[in-house]
């Protein structure tokens, strides 16, 4: 990976965006609080006692080598792990203080509050319009035709896709380019007005130009949502996030403001990873 080679030769040089690396306003309570989270796939202990606070209205990046548990932890936050047979989650994850694994919490409405964007763009085999309108329709958020039209337009605009697709909203969403599809999926997630957006390596299937657009978009959205992004690319984590958490072998090794993790990590393993010695 080109990025890695760069990291190896020169010291980590995070590209600083407009919002990036500005520490969140102090004193604001964390949006997501995880305490002692353990995840098992059958007999496999995939995530070991992770405790982490994620602040709202900012971008938090999870980094770490493959299989380190970062995606697993991400999927815990909107209970997508429930859909995997044999998967067991222990511990407590709070969203605004409420335990999302409490029996009284319904995963369906939880997922309306915590949206998710996947590695591979997965637009439904429907029109662009219907893709964006899918969430509002199933949740019954908007019933009038004009209301829905407005919502779709607003969501596409927030996702920066409106200009490219406004004249072909009835065209199939699968006909868009990879980067456009990923923005469509983000628009789809935004349409239900979630509080948190989880992104699981959202750019790994995209070319550099499309990646840059998504990163800009993440930057824009950070003012409105709590965004958690899993990424393989340390450069990307450095570019878009304000906080970074480093996972290794199922454990959370280190967490802190992105600038600090990349310039002055406390743990040797983090140091090794960001300088390219492991991973």
Partner 1 sequence: MTDAAQHPSAKHLKKRYAAEARFKMYGRLAITIALAFLVILLGRIVLQGYSTFTTNTVSLPVYLDPARIDRADLSGSNYDYLVSLAVLKALGETEDELGTMSEDASALISRDLGFQILDKVKADPGLIGKTITVTGPVKADADLYYKGEIKRSVAEGNRKLNDRQLTWLDRLKKSGRVHGGFNSAFFTHGDSTEPEQAGILGAAVGSAMMLLVTALIAIPVGVMAAIWLEEFAPKNGWTDLIEVNINNLAAVPSIVYGLLGLAVFINWLGAPRGSPLTGGIVLALMALPTMIIATRAALKAVPPSIRDGALAIGASRTQTVFHHVVPLARPGIMTGAILSLSHALGETAPLLMVGMVAFVPGIPSSFIGGATVLPVQVFIWENASERAFAERTAAGIMVLLAFMIVMNATAIILRRRYERRW
Partner 2 sequence: MIFLIALAALLALSASAYQLARRRAVSSAGGRLAILHSLPGYHGTWVALWTGAPAALLLVLFLIFGARLEGAAIQAQTPPAVAKLDAQRQAVFYSDVQATAAGKARSAVSWDGELKTAFEAKTAEARNISTLGLVLAIGLAVVLALAGFLLAYPRLNKDFRARNRVEGWTDLLLVVCSAVAVLTTVAIVASVAWESFRFFQSVSPLDFWFGTDWSPQIAMREDQVAAKGAFGAVPLFAGTFLIMAIAMILAGPVGLFSAIYLSEYAGSAVRAWVKPLLEILAGVPTVVYGFFAALTVGPIFRSFFNWIGSFLVGGPLDGLGQYLAGVQNQMALTAGVVMGIMLIPFVSSLSDDIINAVPQSLRDGSLAMGATKSETITQVILPAALPGVVGAMMLAMSRAIGETMIVAMAAGLQAKLTANPLDTVTTVTVQIVTLLTGDQEFDSPKTLAAFGLGLTLFVVTLTLNIIALTIVRKYREQYD
Q: For binding to partner 1 (CB under 8 A), which residues are involved?
A: 95-96, 98, 102, 104-106, 108-110, 112-113, 138-141, 192
- Residues of this chain that bind partner 2 (CB under 8 A): 78, 80, 83, 85, 108-112, 115-116, 118, 120, 122-126, 134-135, 138-139, 185, 188-189, 192, 198
3-state secondary structure 211-222: HHHHHHHHHHHC
Q: Which of 32, 51, 29, 47 is nearest to 94 (CA)?
A: 32
Our CB check for partner 2 shows the closer of 109 and 264 to be 109
Instruction: Select from partner 2, partner 1, none the partner in contact with residue 122, using the beta carbon and a kind-dependent cut-off of 5 to 8 Å.
Output: partner 2
Beta strands in 78-166 (DSSP E): 87-95, 98-99, 114-117
Our CB check for partner 2 shows the closer of 2 and 43 to be 43
Q: Which residues contact 52 (CB under 8 A, 6 or more apart)?
A: 32, 33, 34, 73, 245, 252, 255
CB of 42 to partner 2, least distance (A): 12
Q: In 3-state terms, what secondary structure has residue 127?
A: strand
Our CB check for partner 1 shows the closer of 92 and 120 to be 92
Instruction: Select from partner 2, partner 1, none the partner in contact with residue 229, using the beta carbon and a kind-dependent cut-off of 5 to 8 Å.
Output: none
- Identify the helix (H) or strand (E) that includes residue 200: strand 196-200
Instruction: Select from partner 1, partner 2, none the partner in contact with residue 83, using the beta carbon and a kind-dependent cut-off of 5 to 8 Å.
Output: partner 2
Our CB check for partner 1 shows the closer of 111 and 248 to be 111
Read out DSSP for 72-83?
HHHHHHTTGGGG
């Amino acid at each position: 990976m080109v990025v890695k080679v760069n990291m190896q030769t020169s010291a980590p040089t995070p590209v600083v965006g407009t919002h990036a690396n500005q520490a969140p306003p102090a004193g604001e309570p964390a949006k997501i609080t995880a305490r002692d989270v353990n995840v098992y796939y059958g007999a496999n202990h995939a995530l070991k006692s992770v405790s982490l606070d994620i602040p709202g209205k900012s971008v938090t990046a999870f980094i770490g080598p493959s299989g380190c548990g970062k995606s697993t932890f991400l999927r815990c936050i909107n209970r997508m792990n429930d859909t995997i047979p044999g998967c067991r989650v222990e511990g407590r994850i709070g969203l605004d203080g409420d335990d999302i694994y409490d029996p009284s919490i319904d995963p369906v409405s939880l997922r309306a509050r915590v949206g998710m964007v996947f590695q591979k763009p997965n637009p439904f085999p429907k029109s662009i319009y219907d893709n964006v309108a899918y969430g509002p329709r199933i949740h019954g958020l908007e019933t009038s035709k004009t209301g829905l039209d407005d919502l779709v337009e607003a969501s596409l605009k927030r996702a920066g896709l409106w200009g490219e697709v406004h004249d072909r909203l009835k065209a199939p969403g699968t006909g868009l380019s990879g980067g456009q599809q990923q923005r469509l999926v983000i628009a789809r997630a935004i349409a239900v007005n979630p509080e948190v957006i989880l992104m699981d390596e959202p750019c790994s299937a995209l070319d550099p130009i499309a990646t840059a657009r998504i990163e800009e978009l993440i930057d824009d959205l950070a003012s409105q949502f709590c965004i958690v992004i899993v990424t393989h690319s340390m450069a990307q984590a450095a570019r878009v996030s304000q906080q970074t958490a480093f996972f290794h072998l199922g454990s959370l090794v280190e967490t802190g403001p992105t600038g600090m993790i990349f310039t002055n990590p406390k743990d040797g393993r983090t140091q090794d990873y960001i300088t390219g010695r492991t991973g």
